[in-house]
Structure 1
Amino acid sequence: MPDAERPQELPARLLTDPEMIDACRVRDFSRVFRLVKTRAGIYPSMIARRCDLTPSRVGEVIAGRRQLLHMDVVERISDGLRIPGHMLGLARRPWETPQALIATEREAPQLPEPEQQTAPSLPGPDVDSILALTSRTSLNPGTLEAFRSSIEDYWRRDDQHGGEALRPAIVGQLRYVVGLLNENRQPSIRNHLYGIAAELARLTGWTYFDARQYNQARAYFTEALKLAKEIDDRQFMANVLACMSLQATYQDKPVDSLALVTGAQDQARSSQVTTPRVLSMLSMREAFAHATLGDREATHRAIGEAHRHFEEIDASDPDPSWVTYFDEPKLIVDTGIAHGRLGEAATAEPLIADALRREDHTKQRGRAFHTFWLARTQLDQGKLDQACHTATQALAPASAVASERVTGHLREFYDQLAPHRKEPVALAFEARLRELLPPVSGSLHP
């Protein structure tokens, strides 16, 4: 149904009004229609059209001369006026769950096995020949810095808006840089190009991971590892393995997650330039893996290691640009999330709340993640009103960023809320949710 034809939601304040709740409970449609008219501005002729009733019949109901008892009519009223099914004693209506939350894991077609394919970043020969016309150019430090600046800008915009729309530009730049590697270059220039290509491949993998297209993500992460290995950049290899470890936690593969982050730590420790910030980030990823496995002791130990390494950070450390995001608010919020994964909600809640007060408000995706995590820890402690209020605050940043991972976190909270759906505060949250994430034609598949 086009958006213009889709019935509008009733105001949350009406759906949570005790008079409306009572009128729906006893199916007193005379009162229901009057309240809808006075509180929502939906007049009898509009009620008739939306509920597939005649205007005269609606008028008789409002005047108290007629009752509506047939179940199919009650269902039409529920659907036409967007009154949640349970308020009228009905089963949950299909429209009550935003389409964005009715989804299954999305995957692009399976890629060939790595040994049977060229690097996923490489274009066909016709594009190669076209790009060759522009790639035969002298490279200097300024050109390389421009590449790195564009990568930093991609990451910034990815966190603000999601990476789906950015991906074609990122892949195009990756192809271009890989094309430059096919020409003879000075060793120093060539090493920088390999590093740039590795970061572009990791960024491409990240955009697929954020879209929950896990096979594609893994292919690009693997390509990033190969490119970094060409220049023996073990710190960056550790970074890519940490990304793959995080992905494994989302795929509910905690054993794989732990193996990957252990490999990342091995690579980092074998590097001569690894910094305390990198080791702190990796220890926190290890804590996530242990928490997903339910190993409380190992999780607490890894959290302790993360904080110990973080305390050793010095302003003069040669941190790579890709780890600078791991600041103190990030350390704190990740600590809270690790406790939350263990079910230690009372410990997790104040940590996540403190980090939210301190973190960058322009990072929409991160704020949505962390706010939903805060709401989940509050709900775990039975704080229904507080949890729904917190989750409602998360809807604005969630709706502003195109991220299937954000949708996944919203879905987890929404499912956790199921036992409380009839409570007024949950009704108000759902009304706001459907307002910001309305049903759409077709499906959104994470």
Structure 2
Amino acid sequence: MPDADRPQELPARLLTDPEMIHACLVRDFARVFRLVQARAGVYPSMIARRCDLTPSRVGEVIAGRRQLLHMDVIERISDGLRIPGGMLGLARRSWETPQALTVTEREAPQGAEPEERSPVSLPGPDVDSILALATRTNLSAATLEAFRSSIEDYWRRDDQHGGEALRPAVVGQLRYVVGLLKESRPPSIQHGLYGIAAELARLTGWTYFDARQYNQARAYFTEALQLAKEIDDRQFMANVLACMSLQATYQDKPADSLALVTAAQDQARSAFSTTPRVLSMLSMREAFAHATLGSHTATHRALGEAHRQFEQIQASDPDPSWVTYFDELKLIVDTGIAHGRLGEAATAEPLIADALRREARTNQRGRAFHAFWLARTQLDQGKVDQACSTATQALESASAVASERVSGHLREFYDQLAPHRQEPVALAFEARLRAVLPPVSGSLRP
């Protein structure tokens, strides 16, 4: 087998970890797969490929819904992951080191002193205790902060590039943290781990939502809800429900959208110290739901409440980190989008344009999304030249980020150009659209 195709060896530190040794001894493959993922970066899809298993089967094992008992499967796992046969109760595998260097103790050569033997056997109980002290993670408040910092970095990169490339790392960290929850820890650490796992599940759901893979998104949002419920974090439950409400608008289920955001507001109001910023964000999501339903009065009422709550924000408010994105700029642009959803284009255009001028250049997805809405409001007012110019700007930002949600909006804009399809500006936009975004089935028909 060429070296490039040879399965990579697992780190020696993992193979000598008492937890890994015990998991292999009892053939607890759920724990083995989780450890291989967390400590060696071998994700479930890679495990499946290396061991000639289906990804769904690996997922069921990790979730505890399936056991692997057949000897031929265990041998494939040993060979695919390069776990020495002796650790799994198998004979020495053909790829292992020569017999003289296997983990079973060997006899000393004639004339050699006993102390000169190579210490090649697996660690004994006394060594296990020493290794446990060296390899086990003692979680502290600083560890939790490190997790939170990585989540903030994931969100920043998601804004810049989209979540497609991030998803494997986020899911891997989610499963690692969920695995940590099964161990006994001080209440404050356990509480923090639940919060981190909930945020990782929400982020995963968001990456699927942004890719318009709605069933997967809903599954992870539901997992985030369950994790937050374990620690009675009602503000975060409200946040997840608000994400699900937004997704329902994309699925053309405005009644579901309104029901979900109403539930989110109920959770937030029942929380001990929900901040005005959280309530403002939720009122804005309510406005989106009403606007999708075409209810002008209810939309304007919800917008008024969003602005009223925002005016009450104080610098000393204990805002959760996940809501800090909802600043004045976001309030303005979302207000414009709500008016745009209602068909109130003249009101929407200056609000979105103002926010877009001030928006950070690094937020590529946000800029593409908001430029699309600006172009749509301009088109609704018959400003075809301006609309196509703005939509072309949106394309430039969209080309830098992997977001099927944004790409879908720009294809929708092209469909809305149908009455003007032969005008030079529309033809130029179509050419640019075809160059930047690959056509999908049924899209960009001549």
Common topology (TM > 0.5): yes
Structure 1 SS opposite 2:316 = coil
State the shift of 1:433 in Å.
Answer: 1.8
Q: Who is 1:62 aligned against?
A: none
- The superposition leaves residues 196-218 of structure 1 with CA deviations (integer Å, 9 ceiling, x where unpaired) of 00000000000111111111110
Q: Who is 1:423 aligned against?
A: 423
Q: Who is 1:89 aligned against?
A: none
State the shift of 1:126 in Å.
Answer: 3.2
Distance in 2 between the 1:353 and 1:282 partners?
23
* TM-score, normalising length: structure 2: 0.70
Correspondence list, 1:28-39, <5 A: none
Distance in 1 between the 2:278 and 2:377 partners?
28
Tell me: CA distance 1:129–1:438, structure 2 relative to 1, closer, same or farther (3 Å): closer
Correspondence list, 1:36-435, <5 A: 124-128=30-34, 130=36, 136-435=136-435
- 1:417 is aligned with what amino acid? L
State the shift of 1:128 in Å.
Answer: 3.2
Q: Who is 1:74 aligned against?
A: none
* TM-score, normalising length: structure 1: 0.70
Structure 2 SS opposite 1:400 = coil
Deviates more, 1:237-246 or 1:404-413: 404-413
State the shift of 1:442 in Å.
Answer: 13
Distance in 1 between the 2:38 and 2:422 partners?
63
Q: Who is 2:118 aligned against?
A: none
State the shift of 1:393 in Å.
Answer: 0.9
Distance in 1 between the 2:35 and 2:216 partners?
26
Task: Point out where structure 2 has 5 or more consecutive residues left out of the alignment.
Answer: 1-28, 41-134
- The superposition leaves residues 257-281 of structure 1 with CA deviations (integer Å, 9 ceiling, x where unpaired) of 0000000000000111110000000
- The superposition leaves residues 90-115 of structure 1 with CA deviations (integer Å, 9 ceiling, x where unpaired) of xxxxxxxxxxxxxxxxxxxxxxxxxx
Distance in 1 between the 2:255 and 2:443 partners?
32
- 2:382 is aligned with what amino acid? G
Distance in 2 between the 1:249 and 1:443 partners?
21
- The superposition leaves residues 161-183 of structure 1 with CA deviations (integer Å, 9 ceiling, x where unpaired) of 00011000000000110111111
Structure with the larger RCO, 1 or 2 (CA within 8 Å, 6+ apart): 1
- The superposition leaves residues 349-398 of structure 1 with CA deviations (integer Å, 9 ceiling, x where unpaired) of 01100111122221000110100100000000000111011111111101
State the shift of 1:129 in Å.
Answer: 5.2
Structure 1 SS opposite 2:399 = helix
Tell me: CA distance 1:331–1:124, structure 2 relative to 1, closer, same or farther (3 Å): same
Tell me: CA distance 1:438–1:211, structure 2 relative to 1, closer, same or farther (3 Å): closer
State the shift of 1:429 in Å.
Answer: 1.3
Distance in 2 between the 1:153 and 1:140 partners?
20
- 1:222 is aligned with what amino acid? T
Structure 2 SS opposite 1:325 = coil
Tell me: CA distance 1:346–1:319, structure 2 relative to 1, closer, same or farther (3 Å): same
Give the conservation status (yes or no) of the 8 Å contact 1:296–1:342. yes
State the shift of 1:443 in Å.
Answer: 10
Give the conservation status (yes or no) of the 8 Å contact 1:371–1:393. yes
State the shift of 1:133 in Å.
Answer: 7.7
Give the conservation status (yes or no) of the 8 Å contact 2:38–2:173. no
Structure 1 SS opposite 2:272 = coil
- 1:402 is aligned with what amino acid? A
